[in-house]
Structure 1
Amino acid sequence: MARRRKYPDGRTGDVINFYRFAAIDDPESLGNHLLEFAERHELHGTVLIATEGINCGFCGLPENLDAFLSEVLADSRLSFLRDAEIKRQSTGRDHYVFRRLRLKVKAEIITFGEPIDWSANEGRFLSPEEFHRMMEAGEVVPVDVRNDFESLVGSFKGAYRMPLEKFSDFREKYQTLDKFQGKTLVTFCTGGIRCEKVVPFMRSKGYENVFQIEGGIINYLKKYPDGFWEGECFVFDDRFSIDSHENQGRVKPCPRCGQPMFPESRLAQLEEEILENYNLDTLGTEDLICFQCNHREDASEPLDNSAHRFSDEELKSLDERRLSI
C-alpha cells in the first residue's frame, strides 16, 4: 500500500463533511471551481457532484480547513452551501486520511435509482435531543439504512438493520418495515444524506410517521457519546471506524489491499466461530487478511508468512453463514 502523506512537524489533522441538495446546471464546472479552493489550501478529499446537489469530504490542517471554508462560503457560485451543515472531527492522525483530491461527476450524489418527491420532506428532522428523549421513552423504532458491512460495526440499541448490500437496494427492501406499521420510525445513517432520500420515499409509500436524525449518527454522538449507540461507527476514510467519543475504532485496513477488515474476525460475528480456533493473542489481528483477498481469483502471488489464509472449508462455512443473516 502507498504511504500516506504526512502533516508537518507531527501535527494531526481534521476532517470535514458536508452535502447539499440543490439544482446544479453545470456540475463539472462547479466541481472544478470548488476543487481549486481545496488545492489552494492543501486539502485531500472528494467532491461528488451531480445535477441534484453536492457531497464533499475533506481533510487537512485545522487552519487550512478554516481558510477553505471561509473562502467557499463567501463565494457567490457556492452560496447555496451556506445552509449546509458542516460536520467536523479531529482525526488524531498525523497523516491525510484521504489519499488524494478528486472530483466525481455522477448522476446522483447518493445512488438511489428512483426520482424523489421532495414535497414529502417537510417536518422530517428530529434533533439529537428529540431523538434521545424518544429513545428514553421507548417511543421509536430506529431504522439503520446503511449497508450491511457498516451496521455490523455498530448501531443504535434496538435498531432494525435494513438488509442492504448497497443503498439502492432499499427500494426493493423497504417492505420489510411493514411489521412496524403504526409505529414511529426514525431512520439514520452516518451523516444524514441517505435518509434525505429514504424519508420522502417511504412517505410516498404510505408510511406517515417516518423521520430522520438531523446530522445523522455523527451529530448524535457529539451530543450523547454515552447514549444509545452500541459499538462503533464506520466512516469513509482511512480510520474506517470511530468509537462514540470519536476515538480510533478497531476496524483496520487489510495489509494486502488496504480495504477495511472488522474487529478480530474482520467480519464481526460472521467469522467468530472460525477465528476462535486461532490464538489471536499470539497471531495478532494485524496478521489477518480480508475476506476479499482470500477470495481473489489469482492465488499465485505468495502471501506474507504471517497472514492466515482461510481454507476452502472455512470459506464455505463463511458463505453459508452470510446467507443466513
Structure 2
Amino acid sequence: MASAVHHNFHRLLALLLRPLPAPVRHPRLSFSPRPAGVRSFFPAPGCRLGTYAVALAEPELVPLEEEEDDDARFVVVTFYKFVPLEDPRTEVASHLHFLQGRDIHGRIYLNELGINAQYSGPHKDAAAYADWVKKDHRFHDMLVQTSPALTGHAFPRLKLRYKPSLVQLEGGSLHLPLLDPSMRAMPLTPSKWKERLEARACLDVSSSEMSGRKLLLLDVRNDYEWDVGHFEGAQQPNVDCFRSTSFGLSGEYFKLQVSDPLNGVDKEKTDILMYCTGGIRCDVYSTILRKKGFQNLYTLEGGVSNYLKAEGPAGWVGNLFVFDGRLSLPPATFRRPACWPSEGEKERWVGRCYACGSEVVELRHRNCANIDCNRLYLSCGWCAEELAGCCCSDCKAAPRLRPLLPGHQRYLKWHVYRDGLLPPAAADSEDDADCC
C-alpha cells in the first residue's frame, strides 16, 4: 500500500516537473496599463476536481450533440486564427460576397494578423461559412466551436469589417508578435489541462516548495465573467475590461504591485496556466508576458468552452459568460456528462448582487440603466426594482436613464431612448456586448 502511494505521488509530481522549453530572452515591450485590483478564490485542498450544478433558474438547454440534425436550428459559431493576411480589406469583401443571401448575424473581424469571428445563424448557413473559411489553406487547421442558440439569433446584426485589433487592447495588437507561435503561450489540450489541475490539487504546499516549482492558475477575463463562473483555485485580476489588463507589469509601475497576482512571481520557476472563454485573449496577452520575461506560459486550447465540451464541468465552478445575447451558459450546454452527480452530491454556485451582496441564483447580467455607466452586473430582483435598473444610487440619480427592462432583456442603442424612437416596452436584446 505504501509503495503504491509513493508511486502515485511521484507520478503526480512528474506532471508538474516535466521538461520545459529553454528560456528565451526577448526585448522589452512598451505598454501603458491602468491599475487593477486582485481577487482570488482558493478551495480546500483535494485530489479530485469537483463538479457543480448550474444555476437552478437557468433555461433548459439541450447539448448540441443531442439535438436533431436540422439545418434550420440556430447555432452560435466561434473561431479565430492568427495568420498573415496581405490584403485584409480585400478579404473582407470576399467574405461579404460569400455571405450574401445567408442568414448570418455576428461580429467578424479581419486584419493583417488574421480573423476573429463570433456569429449565429441557421445551422446550414453557419456551417457553410465555417467550411468555406477552412477551405482556404491558411485556415484549414482552425478550431471551430459550435453551441446551441437559445431562440433564434444571438446577435442583432452582422458586423463584418476590417479592424485594427482583433481584440480590444490598449495600444492595439498589430505591433505584437502574434504570428510567432513561440511568443504565444504553449497550448494544452483539455485533457492535459485537466491533468495539470488534478496534479496541482494533489500536491501540497510543502511538496511544491521542496521541488522548487510552482503553478499559478490565472483567469484572463473580466471581473463580471468571473462572477458567474471560473476554475477552482484560479487567481483573477480585478479588471473591468480586458483592454485595460495590466498584470505582470508591476515591475515598471510600482503602484500596481499590491494588486498584481504576478508581482514577485519567479519568472523561470513558475508555470502560469492562463485561460479565457475561447482562447484568443490568452494568446494575445501571453505575448506581452513573454516580452516581460515570463518563460513558462501555458494556455487552455480553445478556452473554457472547448474544455467544457471535452471534459465536462470537472474543476469548473458555475456557468460560462459569453459575449452574445445568451450571456450565461451552464456547462450542460456544451456536454452532459454520463456520470453527472446525483442531486444529493450537487453543489449550487451562486453569484452576489452588485448592490447589496445578497445571493443571486440566476447568473445572468444586466446593463446599468444609466447610459453613461452601462456596467454589466448581477442584481437581485429587489435591487433591480429599487434602483430602477441601475447599479447604484448615484447612477439612479444620473440625468440620462433608460427604463427598467423586465427579466433579462437587453437595451437598444442609447439614441433610441434619447430620441424617443421606441416605447420602453419594445426594447429588446439588440445592443450586443463586444468582447473586451
What TM-score do the two structures reach when normalised by structure 2? 0.56
2:287 aligns to what SS in structure 1? helix
- Do the aligned partners of residues 162 and 72 (structure 1) sit closer, same or farther apart at CA in structure 2, a change above 3 Å counting? same
2:273 aligns to what SS in structure 1? strand
Distance in structure 1 (CA, Å) of the matches to 2:402 and 2:277:
37
Contact 1:31 1:47 in 2 (8 A): no
Counterpart residue type for residue 329 of structure 2 = I
Contact 2:249 2:292 in 1 (8 A): no
| Structure 1 segments unaligned to the other structure (5+ residues) | 1-8, 266-274, 308-325
Report matched runs for 1:31-46 at 5 Å. Answer: 31-46=92-107
2:389 aligns to what SS in structure 1? coil
| Structure 2 segments unaligned to the other structure (5+ residues) | 1-69, 204-214, 251-259, 335-361, 408-436
Out of 118, 133, 146, the position equivalent to 1:57 is 118
Residues 31-62 of structure 1, C-alpha deviation per residue, up to 9 Å, x if partnerless? Answer: 13112323332111111122111101111111
CA RMSD in angstroms comes to 3.4
Counterpart residue type for residue 198 of structure 2 = E
Corresponding position of 2:225? 150
Distance in structure 2 (CA, Å) of the matches to 1:119 and 1:72:
21
Residues 238-264 of structure 1, C-alpha deviation per residue, up to 9 Å, x if partnerless? Answer: 0011112228x7315459699785444
Corresponding position of 2:142? 84
Corresponding position of 2:296? 209
Corresponding position of 1:116? 176
Contact 2:370 2:401 in 1 (8 A): no
* CA apart distance, 1:141: 2.2
1:17 aligns to what SS in structure 2? strand
- Do the aligned partners of residues 294 and 106 (structure 1) sit closer, same or farther apart at CA in structure 2, a change above 3 Å counting? farther
Distance in structure 1 (CA, Å) of the matches to 2:223 and 2:79:
23
Corresponding position of 2:242? 167
* Mean Cα deviation higher: 137-146 or 151-160: 137-146
Show structure 1 runs of 4+ deviating over 6 A.
257-260
Say yes or no: does 1:250 pair with 2:363: yes
- Do the aligned partners of residues 36 and 129 (structure 1) sit closer, same or farther apart at CA in structure 2, a change above 3 Å counting? same
- Do the aligned partners of residues 261 and 19 (structure 1) sit closer, same or farther apart at CA in structure 2, a change above 3 Å counting? same
Contact 1:241 1:251 in 2 (8 A): yes
Distance in structure 1 (CA, Å) of the matches to 2:117 and 2:181:
25
Out of 264, 268, 273, the position equivalent to 1:186 is 273
Corresponding position of 1:137? 199
Corresponding position of 2:132? 71
Corresponding position of 1:323? none
* CA apart distance, 1:103: 2.0
Out of 263, 288, 291, the position equivalent to 2:391 is 291
Report matched runs for 1:255-266 at 5 Å. Answer: 261-265=376-380
Q: Which has the higher contact order (CA 8 A, sep 6+)?
A: 2
Contact 1:251 1:263 in 2 (8 A): yes
Contact 2:184 2:284 in 1 (8 A): no
Say yes or no: does 1:30 pair with 2:91: yes
Distance in structure 1 (CA, Å) of the matches to 2:245 and 2:98:
35
Contact 2:111 2:163 in 1 (8 A): yes
Query: What is the aligned-residue identity percentage?
Result: 24
1:33 aligns to what SS in structure 2? helix
Give the structure with the higher percent helix: 1
Distance in structure 1 (CA, Å) of the matches to 2:383 and 2:151:
32
- Do the aligned partners of residues 225 and 164 (structure 1) sit closer, same or farther apart at CA in structure 2, a change above 3 Å counting? same
Counterpart residue type for residue 295 of structure 1 = C
What TM-score do the two structures reach when normalised by structure 1? 0.73
* Mean Cα deviation higher: 119-128 or 13-22: 119-128
* CA apart distance, 1:161: 0.3
